[in-house]
Amino acid sequence: MPHKHPMTIDKLLNYLRLGDNAEDPKVAMEAIARGVVFRGTNLLILVFAILIASVGLNVNSAAVVIGAMLISPLMGPIMGVGAGVGVMDFRLVRRSVYNLGFAVGASIATSTLYFLITPLSEAHSEILARTSPTIWDVLIALSGGFAGVIAAASKERGNVVPGVAIATALMPPLCTAGYGLAHLNWSYFLGAFYLFLINSVFIGIATLFTVRWMGYPMKSLADERVTRKVKRYTAIIIFITVVPSVFLAYRLVLQTAFENRAEQYVLFETDVEDNFLVKQEIDAKARTILLTYVGNGLTPEEEDRLRRRLGGYDIADAELTIRTGLSIRDLDNERMSMREGEQRQQEQNQALMAKLASLNDSLVQRDRAAVQLMTEARAVIPGLRWVVLADIPGGVLGKDTMAVVASARFATMPDTAVAGRLDRWLSVRLKDRRHLLCITADPQKK
């Protein structure tokens, strides 16, 4: 029976070596150096990638943002910095840093200009997702950097490079930084730029480690002092880049834990008799919970019970706000108030209708009396065309009693006897009620 040798570290590393798939180091370094410079094709592609990413973020289209990441040439100078440091090619490092700075400046300037002129200003999820980097973004950038540089050092690149471009997402954070700059939102700007810094640093670090691990020849033989300085600066850059992401990741973990506990609390503890929970809002950053009920309304005892139950879910410090959006008791009171108002309005309408009917009857009777009066007057007074009566308010004629104006019209102006006869007849007809007689005549034709 053959003896099975245990897996040794050398054998394990042998499986990880590229072997015949490894590209010639000189060819690989030349390819990296060509991708460093932003001129001609690379520059045009960068400009269009910036615009595509900005539009994708603006309209919240993940597909468009992914397209911008695929065509973006930003990984070139980043890998150039890492590879240059790895093989001590400081000329390549300087060129890479210069071109990377140019690309970053052009990207932020272009996206800022776009977000200044676009009518769409809302920060969608594609923008918000790039404003709070964490330690997980460090792991993504480091893994993506290793995958990218190994693909660059291999003859069979396959679809690794496009995948790395999507995973590390270099272009969208710069465009998000442009959005923050355009709207003077410094938290967006700093968060997005920090995410880009994480991606850049750890892609470069992964490239540095990979070219060292694969034994790429040094461009120049550096003395021990220079080597120590490079290692020290590399460690400082890693430390400065990682520490904030660890803090942000810790804060994210706390917020996620709070949100999960708050959701469990809402699920199991918010049932209240004769009330229905219609809405809950959980703000993990502010550590607040808002509950909105409809029903008979919550008593102070029920609200106290809800607040005491927070401690059972380890969120006793949360601020709980309880609102009653629509109480059945309030609804009944409102319905009763509306019914009483309708009844009062109906009574007022009925009283008004009765008053109008009475007034109408009075006017009808008055019209009939006026017609009868004119008929009688024309029968006894010769030449009278018509006579009408109008009430005068009390006090107009010097006394408090109601007076009447009688306006009489004759075919020709009557003499004194006829006028006196009409005046006496009115006195009898009006039962000695005070009256004022006005006589006119039809105009005479010449």
Q: What totals of helices (H) and strands (E) does the chain contain, helices first?
A: 15, 6
Q: Is 13 exposed, middle or buried (0-12, 13-18, 19+ CB in 10 A)?
A: exposed
Q: Are residues 18 and 138 in the same domain?
A: yes
Q: Are residues 393 and 425 in the same domain?
A: yes
Check whether 88 has a pLDDT greater than 60: yes
Q: Are residues 426 and 296 in the same domain?
A: no
Longest CA–CA separation in the chain, Å? 163
326 confidence band (pLDDT: 50, 70, 90): low
Q: Are residues 17 and 132 in the same domain?
A: yes
Please state, in angstroms and rounded to a whole number, the distance separating the CA atoms of residues 67 and 54.
Answer: 11
Q: Are residues 264 and 193 in the same domain?
A: no
* Structural domain includes residue 61: yes
The predicted structure's pLDDT at residue 6: 52
Q: Are residues 119 and 265 in the same domain?
A: no
How far CA 245 is from CA of 50, 66, 127, 252, 257, in Å, comes to 26, 24, 18, 10, 18
Which of 346, 369, 392 delimits the end of a domain?
A: 369
Structural domain of 265: 257-369
Contact call for residues 101 and 37 (beta carbons, < 8 A):
no
Region class of 274: left (phi > 0), else alpha (psi between -120 and 50), else beta: left
pLDDT in tens, 149-160: 787 777 665 555
Q: Are residues 345 and 411 in the same domain?
A: no
What type of residue sits at position 75? M
Q: Are residues 210 and 97 in the same domain?
A: yes
pTM for the whole structure: 0.61
Give every CB contact of residue 132 below 8 A, 6+ residues apart in sequence. Answer: 191, 248, 252
Please state, in angstroms and rounded to a whole number, the distance separating the CA atoms of residues 57 and 188.
Answer: 13
How far CA 8 is from CA of 2, 5, 13, 384, 413, in Å, comes to 18, 8, 9, 142, 145
pLDDT in tens, 127-166: 666 667 778 888 888 888 888 778 777 766 555 556 666 6
pLDDT in tens, 91-110: 888 899 999 898 889 889 98
Q: Where is 283: in which H helix or E strand?
A: strand 275-283
Q: What would you report as the CA-atom Rg of the chain, rounded to the nearest whole angstrom?
A: 48
Q: Are residues 425 and 282 in the same domain?
A: no
Residue whose structure tokens are 């010449």: 446
* Structural domain includes residue 251: no
* Structural domain includes residue 234: no
How many structural domains does the chain have? 3
Which of 369, 396, 417 delimits the end of a domain?
A: 369
* Structural domain includes residue 3: no
Angle between helices 41-58 and 90-117 (to 10 degrees): 40
The two tokens of residue 166 are 């999507």
- Phi first, then psi, for residue 84 (nearest 5°) are -65, -45
Residue whose structure tokens are 């020849």: 217
Q: Are residues 388 and 267 in the same domain?
A: no
1 confidence band (pLDDT: 50, 70, 90): very low
* Structural domain includes residue 343: yes
Please state, in angstroms and rounded to a whole number, the distance separating the CA atoms of residues 330 and 327.
Answer: 5
Q: Are residues 277 and 181 in the same domain?
A: no
